[in-house]
Structure 1
C-alpha cells in the first residue's frame, strides 16, 4: 500500500523567496523535486514531529477503524479488560449492571508509548494551560479528579487519560493554517477510533471525543465535527449520562464529583449539538433533558472541588440572584435555543397559528427573562467567558425566533388572515432585532473574549446590521457592524471558524459596508 504523504505547516524557503505556491510535502515539495533544487523548511521541528508519527504508527495497512497500522502494532494494541456484553443489544432483561470502568484498557503501556513523544514531560503544565483556556468555555472536567489521576503514578482509572491529554494538546496549536494537519489532532482522532473499534467505553473516551468535536467546530472542520460529536453522544448514551435512573448497563457513579463530571460532560454534548445545528435542517440526535435534570453547580465551587447543592433545570423563573453559575446559564440558554429550534420546525410544518403564536410569545418572554438574568451575572462582576457565551447563545435563540415573525409580508400563515397577536409578535421581533444588533452584540464583540463559540452569534448579527444599513443607513448600525467584524477577525487569528464566517460576509458584500481599515485584511478560508 502507498505510504501517505506528510506535509509541513508552512511553505519551503525557496517557494517563499520566489513567492510561488508550495505543495509543502516532506521531505521535499513537488516543485523543488521537479527542479532538482534543495528544499528546506523553516520549522524542522514540525517535519520531525510528522516523521515521528509515521515511525510510531509504522504505516502499512489500514485497520477497520481507519488508523494506519501494521500487523504488529494492531496485534499489540491493548484490548478491553472485559468484552462488551452483547446481551445489552440482544436481550437486556437479565443483564447485570457493569462497573464504571469494566471496559477499560487491559494494559496502559502501549497508549502511553504512542502519545509520549507528542506530550511535554510536564503534563501538569499542559493541564493548567487547558484549564485556563478551553476549560473556560466548556468546564466539564474536574480539576480535582484530573490532578489526582496525574499524581497517582499509575495513570487514570480507565486508561484513556493519555488520549484526553493529547486532545488538550491539540488546542495549543496556534497556526490556524495547519489546524487540520496538527499531529496531536490527527493522532488523537486515530486513537479514539481505534479505542471505539476495540470496544472500549469510558468517560475519558467520551470527553476526548467531545474535545475533538469542539476543536473541529472551532476550526470549521466539517462534517467531521458533526460526526465526531455524534460518536460522543452515542457513547454517552451507553454510559447513561443522559438518564442515570434508567441506565441498565452501568452501576451509578461511586462519588459525587464523578457524577457531576458526567452531568457536565453530557451538557457540553447537548450544547455543542444545538450550536452546530442552528443553521441546518438535520434532525436533532441528542435527546432533550429529563424533567428532573439538574444544572451544573457554580463554576467557582466546581474548580475548587467543593460539594454543594445543584439547581434544577426546570424552574418557574430565571434569576441572577441564585447560586446558578455561568456554565449553568450556558446550559439554560442552550435548552431555550433547543425549544426555539423545535418551534421553527413546527412553523415550517405549517401548524395552526392558534397554537404557534401563543408559544412564540411564551418563548419571547422566557428568553427576555433569561437574557436579563445572564446580564445580571455579567454586570455583577462575573467576567467568566462562559457568561459571555451564555449571553451569545441566548441571543442566537432570540434572533432565530424573531426572524420567524419579523417579516412584513402577508401570508406568513398560509391562507389565513392576519390576527392581532401576529402583529404584536412582529413588533416584538423587530424591536428585539434592532436592540440586539445595534447595542447588545457590539458590546459582546468589544469584550474580546476570542472564543469561537460566539462566532455564530456575531455572524448572524452582522447580517442583521447589514440589512438595516441598506434600508436606512443609520450610523449606529455602521458602528455596530465595525465592532462585530473586528471581533470576528480577532477570533479568526486563532480559530478558522471565524475566518469562514468572514468569508461568507465578504461573499454577501457585507464587508464592503465597513471602513477600509476594518475590511482591509485578506480572507483566506480553509478548503473543505
Structure 2
C-alpha cells in the first residue's frame, strides 16, 4: 500500500506542465501547473485548459504511466481518475471523443472563449476510437442507392468521398436519426426522380429528410455529414424551385460551414481536429466550395441580397481533379488566386465550377453596388473591363475543352453555363442606354463599354445556343440516358439566353435568334422531365410575345 501511494506521488510530480494554464495566464496569476487541471482553477471552479501540446504530452504520459505500472497501482490510478473534478461535458481527457456524443455535450466555451477551446470535436471516427474499424458491407438496397448517386448527382456535385460515404453508411445503416443515416436519405432523395403527379414539396422522401434533419440537429453534434446533407437538400430545393426554402437552406449550409471554420483554415476558429487523411481533408475542401458555389448560384436572379458564404481566403486551394478523387487516390490542388489567368487543362471539372462561381460572385457584387459612394466611376468601369476579359478568357478556354472532348461528361457544362450567366449579367449593366452610374448621365467610359457589351450579348447568346445543341445531341445519342447526369444549375443560363434571343427577335426580327430560342426551349423541356425549376422558367417564356410570334406549341 505504501509502495502504491509512493508511485502515485511520483507520477503526480512528473505530470506537471511546463507552462501555466490558459485561465491563469489570462488572469495574470501564478499557476501551480498540475495536470490535468491545476488546483487553483479547481478550487475556484474555473475551467482549466492547457495548450494542445501540453495536453497531448499529458495524455501520452498518462498512457505510458498506466502501462508501466499496471500491476502495482492500477487501483490507485482508477481511483484518481474517478475523483478528478472536471466540468461536465468538456475536459482535456474527453475532448477527443466529443464527436461521438450527443448535442448536450457541445462545449459552449467554443463560442464564449475560443482561445481555451481549440478543435474540440473529432472530425473522423478513428480519432474517437483510436483505430480504423474493419470494412462493413452495405445492404443490397443501400448499395444500389449509393451506386445511383455516384453515377448521377456526383457527376455535377462531387463533394462526397465514395469510400468514406459507403463506410459511414455501412457502419450506421441500422442506427436511426444519426448523421450518416441523414446523409443516406439525402443521397436517395436528390438522385431519384419525382413520382408522377407529385410536387417536389410534397414528396415523401423530401419530408422524411426534413424530419430527420430536425432530429439530428437537435440530438447530435455538428459533423461533416450534417453539412453535406444540408447541401444535398439545398440542391434538391434549388433543382425543384422550392422557395424560399432553397435560399434559406443555402444560408443554413453557409452558417454551418463558417462555424466549422472550413472557409479560413488559417485565421478562423476550427471546430474539428485536423483531418487524419488527405481524402478527408479534400472532402472538407470540396464541401466548403460546394457551399460557396450554391450561394453564388442562388443570387443570380435576385439583386441586393448579401452573400451568405464569405469570399475564399488568400491561399485557398481548388478541389483536385476528379480522376484521383473518384478512384480514392491522392491528387494535387491548384490555388484559386493567381497573378494571371492561365489555360490550365489539368484542373478538374469541379475546380472549373469553383473558378466560374468565384468570378460570378465578383460580377454579382459589381452589379449590386452601382451607387456606392465608396467606389469611383473610373474604378467601376475598370473593374467591369477586367471582369469582361477574365470571363471571356475562361469561357473561351472551357469551350475549347468541350469541343476537344466530344463526350457528354459534364466536365465543362456547369462552369461554362456560370460563365455565360456572369457575362450576361455584366453586359446588361452597361448595354442599356437608360442605365448609368452617375446623376449626370452616361459617362464616356460607359458609352465605350456599351459597345463591347452589345457585342458580348450577341456572342454569349450564340454560345448558349451552341451549348444547348451539344447537350441535346448528347442526350439523343444516349437515348435519354444523359439526362440523368444533367444537373439543374445551367437552367438560369438557358433562361437568360432565351431572354436575349427573344430581345433580338423583337428588336431585329432576327430569324437566327428564333432558331436559338427554339433549341434553348427544347432543352429546358428535356431538363424539366427531371428538375421542376426548368418548368418554372418555361412558364415565363411561354408568356413572351417574341416566343409566341414563333408559333411554337
Q: TM-score range by the shorter chain?
A: 0.7 to 0.9
The alignment covers a number of residue pairs equal to 424
How far 1:205 moved relative to its partner?
0.7
**Displacement of 1:414:** 1.9
Match of 1:129 in 2: 148
Q: 1:402 aligns with which of 424, 427, 431?
A: 427
**3-state SS, counterpart of residue 126 of structure 1:** helix
The answer to whether the 8 Å contact 1:103/1:199 transfers is no
Q: Which residue number corresponds to residue 311 of structure 1?
A: 334
User: Does the residue aligned with 2:263 lie in a helix, a strand or coil?
Assistant: coil
Aligned match of 2:453 in 429, 433, 437?
429
Structure 2 match to 1:514: 550
Matched, 1:474 2:498: no
Could you tell me which runs of 5 or more consecutive residues in structure 2 were left unpaired when the two chains were aligned.
1-99, 129-137, 473-482
C-alpha distance in 1, partners of 2:240/2:380? 37
Name 1:379's counterpart in structure 2.
403
| Match in the other structure for 1:329 | 352
Quote the Cα distance in structure 2 between the aligned partners of 1:124 and 1:243.
35
- What is the TM-score with the length of structure 2 in the denominator? 0.72
Residue 145 of structure 1 corresponds to which residue in structure 2? 164
For the residue of structure 2 that corresponds to 1:244, the secondary structure is coil
Q: How far apart are residue 451 of structure 1 and its match?
A: 2.7
Displacement, 1:129? 0.5
Distance 2:231 2:290 in 1: 8
Flag the 1:417–1:205 CA change in 2: closer, same or farther, 3 A.
Answer: closer
Q: How far has the Cα of 1:154 moved from its partner?
A: 7.3
On the 8 A contact 1:256/1:307 being kept in 2, the answer is: yes
Matches of 1:131 and 1:230, distance apart in 2: 25
Greater fraction helix: 2
What is the aligned partner in structure 2 of residue 456 from structure 1?
492
Taking the aligned partners of 1:417 and 1:206, their CA distance within structure 2 comes to: 46
Please state if 1:390 is matched with 2:415.
yes
Q: For the residues of structure 2 that align with 1:170 and 1:485, how far apart are their CA atoms?
A: 27
In the TM superposition, residue 137 of structure 1 has moved relative to its aligned partner by: 1.2
- The equivalent of 1:168 in structure 2 is 187
Determine whether 1:88 maps to 2:113. Answer: no
User: If you compute each CA radius of gyration, which structure gives the higher value, 1 or 2?
Assistant: 2
Q: Secondary structure at 1:385's aligned position in 2?
A: coil
TM-score by length of 1: 0.75
Secondary structure, counterpart of 2:114 in structure 1 = coil
Q: Give CA deviations for 1:460-481 in whole Å, capped at 9, x if unaligned.
A: 1111111110011111100000
Q: Report the more deviating stretch, 394-403 or 367-376.
A: 367-376
Cα displacement string for residues 184-207 of structure 1 (whole angstroms, at most 9, x for unaligned residues): 111111111221123520001111
Partner of residue 415, structure 1: 440
Task: Give the one of 249, 265, 269 matched to 2:271.
Answer: 249
Cα 1:321–1:228, aligned 2, differ >3 Å: closer, same or farther?
Answer: closer
Shift of 1:81: 7.2
Per the alignment, residue 3 of structure 2 pairs with: none
CA distance in 1, matches of 2:347, 2:385: 25
Runs of at least 4 residues off by over 4 Å: 101-104, 150-156
Instruction: Quote the offset at 1:316 in angstroms.
Output: 2.9
Equivalence for 1:181: 202
Distance 1:508-1:412 versus aligned 2 partners, 3 A rule: farther
User: Which residue of the partner structure matches residue 258 of structure 1?
Assistant: 280
Alpha-carbon distance between aligned partners in 2 of 1:174 and 1:417, rounded to the nearest angstrom: 49
Contact 1:295–1:331 under 8 Å retained in 2: yes
Query: Does residue 494 of structure 1 match 2:513?
Result: no
Q: Check conservation: 2:194, 2:203, Cα contact below 8 A.
A: no
CA distance in structure 2 between the aligned counterparts of 1:91 and 1:418, rounded to whole angstroms: 52
**Residue 260 of structure 2: aligned partner:** 239
Conservation of the 8 A alpha-carbon contact between 1:458 and 1:488: yes
2:375 corresponds to 1:344: no
Query: What CA distance in whole angstroms lies between the structure 2 residues aligned with 1:333 and 1:102?
Result: 31
